[in-house]
Structure 1
Amino acid sequence: MEQQLHHIAGHDPLTQLPNRSLLFERLQASLGLARRGGTHLSLLFIDIDGFKHVNDNYGHLVGDKLLKSIAKRLHDCVRKSDTVGRCGGDEFLVILNNIESFDKVLIIAENIRSELDKPYQFDELVLQLSPSIGLARYPENGDNEQQLIQHADQAMYQAKSTGGNSVKTTVNSTK
């Protein structure tokens, strides 16, 4: 019973992904490990382009099915040591632990963008949506959780403002 209550408190009831509270805890823990180990941590902030249109035109039941499908695709794109969580609405965070090569992080982010860009089919309904993805990296974009989230969020809005369906970052690829 206690384990079930703990799970409910830390997970989004729709997608079963970690919720905002558990995400923040995991980000703090990952950041602590990165500091101690002198390693990198990457954070992806993902917003689904056109999600509001789906809810408005097809209803929340279809929107919920879509969110579950997105959550599964995200989960399938990362390693078990990484964390995928739902911040709320159509916003997701991905914590990528201990990937030193920035180019490898970009490949993962592009793979996520590509997977989320594929059509979603629910009975006869086929939906085509895409993500806007912002990328922040420790230590380049900050040394605490708020700074990393803020940088990833700003990069995501930059992706959205340039038409969406892209990955944006303020990190130099030389590190």
Structure 2
Amino acid sequence: VRPQLAKEKIEGCHICTLVTPGEPQVILGKDKAFTFDYVFDMDSQQDSLYGNCTEKLIEGCFEGYNATIFAYGQTGSGKTYTMGTGFDVNITDEELGIIPRAVSHLFRGIEERRQAATEQGRPVPEFKINAQFLELYNEEVLDLFDSTREVKKSNIKIHEDANGGIYTVGVTTRTVSSEAE
């Protein structure tokens, strides 16, 4: 549950969610309860969310596993806040969302592994990182790396392979070699 926006506070908006203490459950209004793997209330810190839900996935990348972080919810529910894609200039380190934390974690882990190999006289491992940045909005998949997306309709397709893996067609893939990229 994201914190209220300044505008919402000024307008006197009421908080309509209640997190069941000790349970991964949210109650909307008076009686609609929803249970999830994790629930974080408004006073939860972004680092706590990252540590509980994402950190192990990024560590798994160093073991050769793919990781996908998927945010789902209605407009205004906090996806941008949680993922950290608002790119607010005035954001504090404590407010950083999942994506900037994951990118930092990934490149810090790469550097640690390269340094450890050098110190131990082992061959320095090579890493190749490809990034795609997608948004599903009103039933359309948007390629956020495609600068022409405002001009043309998206032709991105999402498919499932014979092994149950998901892959995309028509998405911009960028090879990146630094956190800044």
TM-score interval for Structure 1 and Structure 2 normalised by the shorter chain = under 0.3
Larger Rg: 2
The one of the two structures with greater contact order (alpha-carbon pairs below 8 A, sep at least 6) is 1
As a proportion of its length, which structure holds more helix?
1
- TM-score when normalising by structure 1: 0.28
As a proportion of its length, which structure holds more strand?
1
